[in-house]
Structure 1
Amino acid sequence: MSAASEQPYDLKGLKCPLPVLKTRKRLASMQSGAMLVVETTDPLAVIDIAHLCQEDGHTLVSSEKTPNGHRFEIIKA
């Protein structure tokens, strides 16, 4: 599945724990193997999103710093 066609899930401006809670809820509604691209500005999301993926078995394909925050590519377990 191409990440380029994926519309980013914009969680910019939200503070911990909202980005990880909304990411978990969005992943729950997706099919296994689907990719979710998440964009955040919360510095704690780097830790929280990685922990969510490890905890729930999702694959964190990439985690990259952006000019305004962070961007994550996650493949649902």
Structure 2
Amino acid sequence: MHFDQELNTRGLKCPLPILRCKKALSELSASQVLKAYATDPGAVKDFQAFCKQTGHVMLSLEEIKEDEITVYIFHIQKKAA
């Protein structure tokens, strides 16, 4: 999937993944896509709630294994202006 910026929050615990996501999205233009990586299981619900509250769109959520660690990959589209 196409993305305009990548954000790595692997190893960070709540609330840091969401705070970094919010900052990264603020640097994007409307409708651009952020690809974010997280390892905190709580990030899934946090990112879903964040998108619902802010109007950004979660285009996809993928779960993969990297060396026995679950990594969550989010594609989030910044809301239109």
TM-score by length of structure 2 reads 0.85
Residue 25 of structure 1, CA deviation: 1.1
| Separation (CA, whole Å) in 2 of partners of 1:66 and 1:21 | 23
Secondary structure of the structure 1 residue equivalent to 2:60 = strand
Question: Which ranges of structure 1 fall in alignment gaps of 5 or more residues?
Answer: none
- Return structure 1 stretches of 4+ with deviation > 2 angstroms: none
Secondary structure of the structure 2 residue equivalent to 1:15 = coil
Question: Which ranges of structure 2 fall in alignment gaps of 5 or more residues?
Answer: none
| Separation (CA, whole Å) in 2 of partners of 1:55 and 1:7 | 21
Aligned to 1:25: 23
Aligned to 1:12: 10
Q: Which amino acid aligns with 2:25?
A: L
Aligned to 1:2: 2
Higher normalized strand content (fraction of residues): 2
Task: Choose 1 or 2 for highest CA Rg.
Answer: 2
Residue 7 of structure 1, CA deviation: 5.1
Residue 66 of structure 1, CA deviation: 1.3
Higher normalized helix content (fraction of residues): 1
